[in-house]
Amino acid sequence: MKRLVTKWKRWFQGSDSPALGRSPAQQRTLDQAGENLTLFFFPSCPFCRKVLREIEHMQLTIECRNIRQDVGARDALKAGGGRTTVPCLLISEGEQVQWLYESSDIVRFLRAWSASVLSG
Ligand SMILES: N[C@@H](CCC(=O)N[C@@H](CS)C(=O)NCC(=O)O)C(=O)O
């Protein structure tokens, strides 16, 4: 849902991410790479809001699953990550998955990840 909202907003605003100096092709590359990332969160969590603000600011398209609304998401987080603490970023690279907890680590990862994706 969040992914759709972000895409719709970008379409409505009529451009990709001019403030970030990205071309439409770069934005598409980033959106595609973002399919390997999933954020587990709930809206009233301040640490989650910090990460969501960063995602919005960087105009990333990442699936965000609200564990308070989606029992399947909560169960997936518990089963995969080992606990239900949020925020948690699921990073999938082929067969390998990493469950990254800690909001500051997630923000640091997202900044480095987007720079790396865009640098090819
Ligand atoms: N130091 C962590 C704090 C995360 C945290 O305390 N999250 C709370 C929600 S605001 C939580 O998930 N608590 C429930 C639990 O740990 O199971 C961060 O910066 O991400």
Cα separation of 1 and 18, whole Å? Answer: 24
Q: Ligand 1 centre and the CA of 115: distance in Å? A: 27
Kindly report, residue by residue over 57-111, the tens digit of the pLDDT: 999 999 999 999 999 999 999 999 999 999 999 999 999 999 999 999 999 999 9
Q: What is the DSSP-derived secondary structure letter of residue 58?
A: T
The domain made up of 25-119 is a member of CATH 3.40.30.10: yes
What sign has the CA pseudo-torsion 55, 39, 98, 118? Answer: negative
Query: Predicted confidence band at 17 (pLDDT cuts at 50, 70, 90)?
Result: low
Domain ranges across the chain: 25-119
Residues with CB under 6 A from ligand 1: 45-47, 83-87, 102-103
